Chains A and B, each alone.
Chain A
Amino acid sequence: MVFIPLKLAGEAAAPLGAMVGTDPAEPHLLVVPQPRNRDLRFAFMSELAQIMLPYIEGFATAKETVSGRNERERYLDAPQVIVPGRRGVEFVRLLGRSTRFRRSDGPYPVDPSVPVLGQWLTFLYERGELAGSSALLAMTDALSLHWATGQSPMEDANLATLLAWISPPPGLTGQEAAAAAENPIDRPPAGPDTDPGFDAQVLQPAIRAYDASGSPALVRQALRTQLEPTWRLMWEAVDLMRALPEAASVAERWAIDRDQYTREVTRLAEGGPPRGRRDQAGPAAIRLWDMEGAQQSYDAQRAYDDPLVMTEHRAAGKAFTGEAVHVDADRKILLPGGKKPVPRPLVTVRTSDPVRLTPGKRVFSVHRRRQSGEIVEIDGDLIVVQLNDQLAKGAGVPTPGDAVCFTELDLGGRIRPGFPTGEETPWTHGGPPAAYVPTDEDAVEAWS
């Protein structure tokens, strides 16, 4: 689902309008004709919920059973929301934050779908913070992973110029196309911030006309001109991304997204409370651990999947590729404290890479995933690696002449150590925190 939100300049999170949908031919245009009016904001959020919730909740149908240590059910597919850039991701967080505590009863009631949408937006944002998740993507980030341009990373954050470099119109170079795409009148900003010139010359009169006449037609028209060009660019980018071959680890990563989606569906069905305003010490430590683990696995997976990404690590001396020139497959050694010799084959690799690893370093085989070894000796361009595991499980041993690649990048899958429970939070971290209960105050918090 493509989601392009716009906000009112100068406000923290006052939605101005959005274009959202799953079909390039059928964008839904939502507007807030007077963005300073609280009731109109909630009307907007409820309208947005009518479109987003059926999409998000619609994946909770067919399930598979995942066997293994931790047997569980998992939905076969999960939602994916794409916004134009990182500022859009941040705006999703703020929209989630400003709506998830609302209630449909009591003072200032809102439509019941609004807090549910708030919880889902918060979920998407928090998933998006973990490396390798595809639940909430910034399109400029996704494109920059696959294309390099002749402009700086700062300018790559502009969807219009980035796409101009990637697929310039016929007859123009990337640079010329990007220069043309910088004009805010032809290519309005991808949001959530609008062009100040547009605000002054078009939007302000349109909002005044709404105040005077009560007809949102002018505001709708104005926002359509700002959103439609970005809408087309977003789908152009979606097509570009779809044309790329899928990397080997994508299925594995998407399975984690599906797992988390399944959990959230269950949690919400059981009436799970909205996430607190701030993390408590324990959950925050766990989250940090998870984020680090996700980043490590993701970096390694990208390098294993894509030889060009591995090149960066090879140039930095953290990986090497070469030919196995000699293999001692039957070598057995007696481990300290062991009684029976165990197989520890030696592979000698000839490489021209500038290796900066040292003997004793644990390395992993890229061609036989999950097989690890350690460097025994480095002599000029010859590196001797002792293979340590996965020998019985059929991973096997390279034969002389094979191309091999070893790296220190670890695919991860570390088991999370036991973190103290809430009640055991040590005094260094403030002691056991008070349990979070959403308060009435949260529910009626002003949004002005």
Chain B
Amino acid sequence: MNSPNHRLDALRGGVAPVDHNARTIAALAGNPGCDRRAVLDAAGIHKQSIAVHLGHPAPFGQSPFALDRARAFEELVKADGCAHLVRLLRETLGLSVPEVAYTDIADVGGNTAHQLRHTRTLAELRRAAEDGERSGTLFDHPLLKLPVAGHEVYLEPSVIAFQIRGRFHIVEIKSFAVIDGTADSGQVAAASRLSAVYVYALKALFRAEGIDPDRVSHEVVLVCPKDFANHPTATLLDVRQQLASLNRQLSRLTRIDRILDHLPPELTFSLEQSPAELARAIRTVEARYAPECLSACEMAYFCRADARVCGSVDVLGRATRDELGGLESIDAVLDLTAGDRLTSPEQAEIADQLRYVRAVYREHASAGAEAVA
């Protein structure tokens, strides 16, 4: 009864867990210090429902125009058995791709069941790996599986895996533009985090099948529209760094029981409680709020409200927090500045600086007042 999976089921309150996808797994690596997020994600809890119940919904959403555009671009790249893609691999990346076979694993004989598709993916990839050098092959809609916090999670990537010279690459198709050779750095970073999840899952799959995981390349082919047109272009992205941080984060998730050990045994995040009760339950798991959460986590507005109530310096942003060297609350900073508080030896330096700055500001404030008078 006390196994982590049972605990997580109890936390969820009897509801079915939400599926992870590459986006949610990539987001895990965003704020690895946050226990609250780790527990909620591991239990497969629908965070948006929790946030709505608590009265702090996060305004996330995607514009229908962006979705249309993404779909249209992907169709274009994949049209005619990936004609565009093969051309890009040959011309832009200079790969000598021989005859290409294109295999779509979107359904197996009309059946789209996950288990079947996954088995088919396994079989196809294994065959390609054993065939080795002879053919470059594109696999569309492979269905990968990844254990996350003890759960087997299916990954439904809109990507293609392809093999060349015995190495497997992931192809990620994104609809943000590369203009004169440069693209928005935030979007490239997000794309490399996503691709890293696929690379990670593919490596895990190879390892489980007894194939050398190093045959999965850490270089991802990113296909984007060029300049202002719909014409695709391709670049190689090295995702080693993202892989490493993902690795750390996922191994941490499997040790989720350590966090669970500190939580009261009867704790639940069921939506059947009143918002106040739910809020109290959520607060038993510590969060590490940073303003960056606002664009990445559904719980962010709730955490921010909490951080403000307790006057945490986190709400001022990471730069300010780091400059305040270890002081955690705004009140502590103000007390230290005013000199009303005994300073511990490690606070001596920051206290000196704060008092000095306060003295100078006072000097100017009074000079300003005189000038006005």
Chain A residues packing against B (C-beta within 8 Å): 8-13, 35, 94, 97-98, 150-155, 175, 182, 184, 194-197, 199-200, 203-204, 277-278, 307-308, 311, 314-315, 353-354, 445-448
Q: Which of B120-168 contact A (CB under 8 A)?
A: none
CB distance B361 to A12 under 8 Å?
A: no
Check A196/B360 contact, CB under 8 A, given A151-B316, A278-B180, A446-B228: no
* A94 vs B182: C-alpha distance when bound (angstroms): 12
Check A155/B65 contact, CB under 8 A, given A10-B175, A278-B180, A446-B231: no
The reply on B308 being an interface residue by CB < 8 A is yes
**Nearest chain B residue, comparing its CB with the CB of A193:** B63
* A152 vs B61: C-alpha distance when bound (angstroms): 23
Q: Which residues of B lie under 8 Å from residue A155 when comparing CB positions?
A: 291, 294
- Shortest distance between the CB of A319 and any CB in chain B (Å): 11
- What 7 pairs across the A-B complex have the smallest Cβ distances? A10-B66, A152-B317, A12-B177, A9-B63, A446-B229, A10-B69, A152-B291
**Nearest chain A residue, comparing its CB with the CB of B177:** A12
- Please pick, from A13, A194, A311, the residue contacting B63 in the complex, using a CB distance under 8 A: A194
Q: Which residues of A lie under 8 Å from residue B227 when comparing CB positions?
A: 12, 445-446
CB distance B292 to A154 under 8 Å?
A: yes
Q: List 17 A-B contacts (CB under 8 A).
A: A10-B63, A10-B67, A151-B316, A153-B319, A154-B291, A154-B292, A196-B61, A196-B62, A196-B64, A199-B63, A199-B65, A200-B61, A204-B65, A278-B181, A315-B356, A353-B356, A448-B228
Chain B residues packing against A (C-beta within 8 Å): 59, 61-70, 175-177, 179-181, 225, 227-231, 291-292, 294, 308, 315-317, 319-320, 352-353, 356-357, 360-361, 364
- Please pick, from A10, A152, A194, A308, the residue contacting B364 in the complex, using a CB distance under 8 A: A308
**Nearest chain A residue, comparing its CB with the CB of B184:** A90
CB distance A311 to B357 under 8 Å?
A: yes
- Please pick, from B70, B308, B352, B357, the residue contacting A175 in the complex, using a CB distance under 8 A: B308
- Shortest distance between the CB of A309 and any CB in chain B (Å): 11
CB distance A152 to B65 under 8 Å?
A: no
Interface SS, B side: helix
Q: Which residues of A lie under 8 Å from residue B175 when comparing CB positions?
A: 10
- Shortest distance between the CB of A320 and any CB in chain B (Å): 11
Q: Which residues of B lie under 8 Å from residue A308 when comparing CB positions?
A: 361, 364
Q: Which residues of A lie under 8 Å from residue B177 when comparing CB positions?
A: 11-13
**Nearest chain B residue, comparing its CB with the CB of A93:** B179
Check A307/B364 contact, CB under 8 A, given A12-B179, A175-B308, A278-B181: yes
Q: Which residues of B lie under 8 Å from residue A354 when comparing CB positions?
A: 352-353, 356
* A308 vs B316: C-alpha distance when bound (angstroms): 20
Q: Which residues of B lie under 8 Å from residue A97 when comparing CB positions?
A: 179-180
* A13 vs B69: C-alpha distance when bound (angstroms): 13
- Shortest distance between the CB of A102 and any CB in chain B (Å): 12
- Shortest distance between the CB of B91 and any CB in chain A (Å): 17
* A217 vs B179: C-alpha distance when bound (angstroms): 33
* A377 vs B148: C-alpha distance when bound (angstroms): 64
- Shortest distance between the CB of B196 and any CB in chain A (Å): 23
CB distance A13 to B228 under 8 Å?
A: yes
Check A204/B64 contact, CB under 8 A, given A154-B294, A308-B361, A447-B229: yes
- Please pick, from B176, B181, B228, B317, the residue contacting A98 in the complex, using a CB distance under 8 A: B228
Q: A10-B65, A11-B177, A354-B352 are in contact. List 12 more A-B contacts (CB 8 A).
A: A9-B63, A10-B66, A150-B316, A151-B316, A153-B319, A277-B180, A278-B180, A308-B364, A314-B360, A315-B353, A315-B360, A354-B353
CB distance B63 to A200 under 8 Å?
A: yes
**Nearest chain A residue, comparing its CB with the CB of B321:** A152
Check A11/B69 contact, CB under 8 A, given A154-B294, A155-B291, A446-B231: yes
